[in-house]
Amino acid sequence: MTSQKKIEEKLEKLAKAIAPDEKLVANVMSRIDAIPIAAPKENEKLNTKLILRRLIMNRYTKYAAAAVILITALIVWSRIPYTVVPTAYALQDTIEAYNSIRYLHIKVYKTNGQERKTSSEVWINCDDYGQMKKVRFQAPSVGEPVGPLVIVGDSNSSQAWLEKFNLLLVGYRNPSGLLRFEVSTIDPKSLFERLYEQEKQGEIILDVNEPRDKAKPIIITVTYPEASLSEAYKKLLYVDQATRLVKKIEKFKIIEGQYQYLHAVEFCDYNQEIDPMMFNLEGELPEDVTKIDMTDADIGLNQANMSRQEVATEVVRKFFEAVIAKDYSKAGLLYLGAPGLVIEQAFMGANVNEIISIGQAHADHDPDSNKMITSCKVLFELNGKKFELDATNINVLRLRTQPDRWVISGMTVSAKPAAENQTN
Q: What percent of the chain is predicted at pLDDT more than 70?
A: 70
Tens-digit pLDDT profile for residues 73-89: 444 444 444 444 445 78
Tens-digit pLDDT profile for residues 323-360: 999 999 999 999 988 889 889 988 888 899 999 999 99
pLDDT at position 244 is 94
- Asked whether residue 406 carries a pLDDT value surpassing 90, the answer given is yes
**What mean pLDDT is reported for the chain?**
78
Helix (H, G, I), strand (E, B) or coil at 233: strand
Interval 257-285 mean pLDDT: 89
Q: How confident is the model at residue 72 (pLDDT cuts 50, 70, 90)?
A: very low
Beta bridge partners of 132: 126
Using CA atoms, how far apart are residues 249 and 198, in angstroms rounded to an integer? 17
Pairing of the two strands 290-293 and 167-172: parallel
Using CA atoms, how far apart are residues 136 and 158, in angstroms rounded to an integer? 9
- Asked whether residue 112 carries a pLDDT value surpassing 80, the answer given is no
pLDDT at position 51 is 52
Helix (H, G, I), strand (E, B) or coil at 287: coil
List phi, psi (to 5°) of 219: -115, 120
Q: How confident is the model at residue 225 (pLDDT cuts 50, 70, 90)?
A: confident
CB-side neighbour CA atoms (13 Å) of 120: 21
C-alpha dihedral (2, 4, 9, 15), degrees to nearest 10:
170
Q: What percent of the chain is predicted at pLDDT more than 90?
A: 35
Interval 132-155 mean pLDDT: 81
pLDDT at position 27 is 58
pLDDT at position 23 is 58
Using CA atoms, how far apart are residues 294 and 98, in angstroms rounded to an integer? 33
DSSP state letter for 335: B
Question: Domains, the chain, ranges and CATH?
Answer: 3-84 (no CATH), 93-268 (2.50.20), 301-417 (3.10.450.50)
Environment class of 344 (CB within 10 Å of its CB; exposed 0-12, middle 13-18, buried 19+): middle
- Of 325, 400, 396, 332, the C-alpha closest to 358 is 396
Q: Which range, of 114-128, 132-146, 410-424, averages the lowest pLDDT?
A: 410-424
Tens-digit pLDDT profile for residues 36-70: 444 444 444 344 445 555 555 554 444 444 444 54
Tens-digit pLDDT profile for residues 160-204: 898 888 989 887 654 444 444 444 456 788 889 989 998 998 888
Using CA atoms, how far apart are residues 100 and 7, in angstroms rounded to an integer? 45
**Residue count (the chain):** 424
Kindly list the distances between the CA atom of residue 72 and the CA atoms of 28, 77, 149, in Å, as whole numbers in the listed order.
Answer: 11, 8, 64
Using CA atoms, how far apart are residues 299 and 336, in angstroms rounded to an integer? 7
Q: Is the dihedral of CA 184, 185, 187, 190 positive or negative?
A: positive
Angle, alpha carbons 202-206-210 (nearest 5°): 155
pLDDT at position 286 is 92
Interval 314-322 mean pLDDT: 97
Q: How confident is the model at residue 318 (pLDDT cuts 50, 70, 90)?
A: very high
Q: How confident is the model at residue 103 (pLDDT cuts 50, 70, 90)?
A: very high
- Of 93, 89, 43, the C-alpha closest to 193 is 93
pLDDT at position 10 is 56
CB burial readout 26-48, b (16+ within 10 A) else e: eebbeebeeeeeeeeeeeeeebb
Spatial contact of 86 and 234, defined as CB atoms under 8 Å apart:
no
Omega prior to 145 cis, within 30 of 0: yes
